[in-house]
Amino acid sequence: MKRIILTGGGTAGHVTPNLALIPKLQKEGWDVRYIGSKTGIEKELIEEQKIPYYGISSGKLRRYKDIKNLTDPFKVLAGGAEALALIGKLKPDIIFSKGGYVTVPVVAAGWLRRVPVIIHESDITPGLANKLAFPFAKKICVNFPETLNYIPKEKGILTGTPIREELFQGKAEKGLKLCGFNDTKPILMMMGGSLGSVAINTVLRKALPALLPAFNIIHICGKNNKDESLENTRGYKQFEYVKEELPHLFAAADIFISRAGANSIAEILSMKKPNILIPLSARASRGDQILNARSFKKQGFSQVLEEENLTEETLIQMIKDTYRNRHQYIESMGKSKSANGIDIVMDLIRTQAKR
């Protein structure tokens, strides 16, 4: 039986593509193991899947001044020693890394043990952890054509992002029932990331009187972000967070508003849903969401509304325009060769694994 080590952590975005791969790997008979941090979000998410999990010491890689920069290098070194011992014990045929600071010692240890490594980079411009790990990789999977300009040519391959199979199994009628919608109005769905977005939440709620005559609205607003005064508003359903319900809500939705995190927009692309992307501003991030959104606009998949230009009026107008031109977006997304990267990534895993 072939054995694979998956690694990735720090945020849910560094775990979700690995979760998408696990059922496919298990179906093909792979023995799947996971290395992550001792206390990160990945531990809970992976243990829910009944996958053997190994926690190692990890330190964050920072580009800014912080007192922890004096201590975290020692955690990284400790994690490297722990990863080296684990890989020597587990003897995997291949390592697949989704990124995050915990993966750097795992990837380096894999290289030292002569285990082939595949890395997946979701954003247009690689993060620091993946940049440090690239020299140890056999192949580097990317989500955007533009990313190929930032990595060694002989290693890069455009794969798209592996998408969870359950997203394609949603039932629109179940989504309608979850929301209590019983008319034929098109459905607008807004997602602001796992924590929600106060800026988008506020503007969308202000726009409700203008939008509700034409749309039913599903609003995933983030933990503790519900507006109780709107709970019984006809045609408007709020969720703080969704899990099992998500495939059904996806199936029911006709148009999306979303941040531009790489995994979220890859899921929207895979479902071929017309969408408006409102990326995090450069003030609140390293600017990767802005680049992601612009790439999707260039490819004809999305409309983009910069947060600096977000108002009640601009949002309402863009929703109307996007819905009116929805068939153009659906057609463009239908032509994408990277709407779901799971098959290409699985082929790479098979071919790169040790003989």
Are residues 257 and 190 both part of a single domain? yes
Are residues 15 and 51 both part of a single domain? yes
Range of the domain at 106: 3-162+340-352
Are residues 177 and 142 both part of a single domain? no
Q: Is 327 exposed, middle or buried (0-12, 13-18, 19+ CB in 10 A)?
A: exposed
Amino acid at 83: A
In sequence order, what E strands does 134-273 have?
Answer: 139-142, 156-158, 187-191, 216-220, 236-239, 255-258
Q: Cα separation of 224 and 227, whole Å?
A: 9
H-helix or E-strand containing 54? strand 53-56
Place of tokens 């993946």: 130
DSSP state of 96: E
- The pLDDT assigned to 341 comes to 87
The number of domains in the chain is 2
Are residues 241 and 269 both part of a single domain? yes
- The pLDDT assigned to 66 comes to 57
DSSP helix/strand/coil, 31? strand
Q: How is 286-303 classified by DSSP, letter by letter?
A: SSHHHHHHHHHHHTTS-E
Residue 62's Cβ-side half-sphere holds a number of Cα atoms within 13 Å equal to 13
Are residues 78 and 223 both part of a single domain? no
- C-alpha angle with apex 31: 76 to 142, nearest 5 degrees? 60
Are residues 346 and 224 both part of a single domain? no
Q: Which residues pair with 96 in a beta bridge?
A: 6, 118
CATH number of the domain to which 59 belongs: 3.40.50.2000
Sign of the dihedral through C-alpha 87, 119, 127, 243: negative
Q: Cα separation of 351 and 141, whole Å?
A: 14
Are residues 9 and 146 both part of a single domain? yes
Are residues 304 and 186 both part of a single domain? yes
Are residues 54 and 181 both part of a single domain? no
Are residues 173 and 96 both part of a single domain? no
Are residues 179 and 42 both part of a single domain? no
For residue 149, how far is the Cα from the chain centroid? 21
What is the chain's pLDDT, residue by residue, as a tens digit (355 residues)? Answer: 899 999 999 887 889 999 999 999 999 999 999 999 998 889 999 999 999 999 998 766 555 565 555 555 667 788 889 999 999 999 999 999 999 989 999 999 999 999 999 999 998 999 888 999 999 999 999 999 999 999 999 999 999 999 999 999 999 999 999 999 998 999 999 998 655 588 999 999 999 999 999 999 999 998 889 999 999 999 999 999 898 999 999 999 999 999 998 889 999 999 999 999 999 887 766 788 999 999 999 999 999 999 999 999 999 999 999 999 999 999 999 988 777 789 999 999 999 997 6
Residues 6+ apart with CB under 8 A from 58: 9, 37, 38, 40, 75, 76, 79, 101, 102, 105
Sign of the dihedral through C-alpha 112, 141, 126, 95: negative
Are residues 266 and 279 both part of a single domain? yes
Instruction: Write 240-247 long-range contacts (CB < 8 A, 24+).
Output: 240/196, 241/194, 245/175, 245/178, 246/167, 246/170, 247/166, 247/167, 247/168, 247/169, 247/170, 247/171
DSSP state of 53: E
